[in-house]
Amino acid sequence: MLRTEIGPGLTEQELDAVEARFGFTFSADHRVFLAAGLPRGSSRWPDWRDGDPEELAGRLAWPVDGVLFDVERNGFWHPVWPSRPAEKSEALRVARTELESVPQLGPVRPIKAGPRGSARMLGCSTCRMTRRSCPPR
């Protein structure tokens, strides 16, 4: 098992600054977790205090990028979306638009994402959201 050092948690001001900088809100549970202690010393965990802003932005983009990758390369298409366009670039545009209308995910722990803000993801694991169909919203 890999061990990760836990440093001092983020203050309310630090949490607010991260949210303002990256344009999202942590879920209430995630705020409590990060305030209790911040995993550090491992590239597996996001370093919200001192991390590289580009790397953190990439982690925030990962869930949507993963779905778009599957749309482009693996033929993924969610059943509640409109009919899939034949042209790949148009399919990506429609998928991106659809993804903008659902609760956003953000990095919680290594290779796992959870809802940002007050969103609730009922019946959908991250894996199911990115690779398989979810129940209709």
Q: What is the mean pLDDT of residues 112-116?
A: 53
Please indicate, yes or no, whether the overall pTM of this predicted structure exceeds 0.75: no
Strands 38-40 and 105-109: unpaired
Looking at residue 74, the DSSP 8-state letter turns out to be S
Average pLDDT value for the chain: 82
Q: What is the mean pLDDT of residues 89-100?
A: 97
Domain boundaries, the chain: 5-131
Q: What is the mean pLDDT of residues 121-132?
A: 41
Q: Are 41 and 9 in contact (CB under 8 A)?
A: no
pLDDT score, position 31? 92
Q: How many residues are recorded in the chain?
A: 137
Strands 112-115 and 38-40: unpaired
Distance CA 22, CA 134 (A): 27
Which tokens belong to 18?
A: 């991260």
Confidence of residue 84 (pLDDT cuts 50, 70, 90): very high
Is the pLDDT score of 11 beyond 90? yes
